[in-house]
Structure 1
Amino acid sequence: MALLNYKTSNPVFSGYIWKYNRNSVSKMTLNGVFLKSLFSIFLVSLTTWYVWDLVTKGLDVDYYTYGGMAAAVVFSIITSYKKKWSPVTTPLYALSKGLFLGGISAYAEAKFEGMPIRAVSVTLLTFIIMLLLYKAKIVVVTKQFRSVLITVIITIMSIYIISWILGIFGIYLPYIMGTSWFAIGFNIITAIVASFSLLLDFDFIDRKLYKAPKYYEWVATWGILVTLIWLYVEVLRLMKKLVIRL
């Protein structure tokens, strides 16, 4: 299978997004992706702390939370179509997503003290474990592995979209969004899928190192952020359900 058709669970790393000019002089490097990822995570933390501080002062941050989520979607779409803008849109995505995370994390902290920090710890630990599994080749990313995981992710995202649309009309799915054991089981599966999607992202980035143009380091950073934030949200949601249930 041609490299440009290589598939991953993360739509950020789709073939369309990763089309590039092979004659580009400056190429994507691992150090470049690493440094830009650290910088972007710092930006996420910055706006997360800002909104969190507003919540501790008793202010309503719904505007920041939902506005940040909407802005993150917009910047994601722009990045996917205008890859050369990624040095600007990726940091803006990080800042926007931080607003969203600050809102949901602060509210979680208010109801369940210490939970957001534990969720962050689990997310980072999962990232390290997945990276070690990938580097040690304990889990090998094969064509069949990718196909199965992509199918599962599409199914999960479809369920979430349907649930969101129904929620607009006041219809809620307790077996998905509630605290039943079925809902908890679904959440566990989703968190596991988000974890394993990191393996596909590592594999894809590894294939593009020293081949893609330099600005693709920002595109790669964007993709990693998408997966990590998804994983954090799933872990936080799972923890809340378990505490309420138990």
Structure 2
Amino acid sequence: MTKIVVAVKYVPDATADRTFDADNTVDRENVDGLLSELDEYAVEQALQVVEAGDGEVTVLTVGPADASDAVRKALQMGADAGVHVEDDAIAGSDAFATSLVLAKAIEKLDYDMVFFGMGSTDAGMGVVPTLVAERLGLPAITFASEISVDGDTVKIRRDGDAATHQIEATGKLVVSVTDQTGEARYPSFKGIMAAKKKPVEEWSLADLGIDAAEVGLDNAWTKVESTTPRPPRTAGEIVTDEGDGGTKLVEFLASKKFV
């Protein structure tokens, strides 16, 4: 039986008007949140792996109370169980502290592979998968555009700007997937109803043996010093074509260094 843990994140809706709090952290109270779209691809790939053989998928999230919505969405998609790490001391944690919490939680679970999305839609750093792999002492094969699993062997295709790489690894490992792996399924009515009966464990920092001094904004290795709102979009320039429209267009593009 293949057991996969998928780390998912609850993020502010990218289509909403997102702002920052006074401490320069993302305002998560005044905007709707949801399961990060990039993590949906990781859930989908994990489900395809276990559906092709025999296995189970556990989704893991770290975040405030509302982050349970991310777990619930993954369960509705077909995941078997969920774990929600919630602790007030975690608020404001950077990628390094987040990777610590995730790694400690994963160590408490029975798993063969750990799946991540290529990055979160709020921070977009894409470093947490490899940080977690380092903490767990596992190999990481990242930015997979295609995944195939045969026993304990995982093969991925990684598409770069100038080349495509085929990468293979065996044993326990960490995998991150891109949005090129295929569309994530939409929860069916049956899946939504079934999710209500699936187990979700709630853990605190104490459950993971983590001291509050290791996480949180005050202990972050990286911080946002200042933010500036994006200026409102201005009206575009209208060019009247009097036979020289093409010339004016080229001059405009050249002034912006587009040509």
If the TM-score is normalised by the length of the shorter chain, which range does it land in?
under 0.3
- Highest RCO, 1 vs 2 (Cα 8 Å, sep ≥ 6): 1
More helix per residue: 1
Larger Rg: 2
TM-score for the superposition, normalised by structure 1 = 0.23
More strand per residue: 2
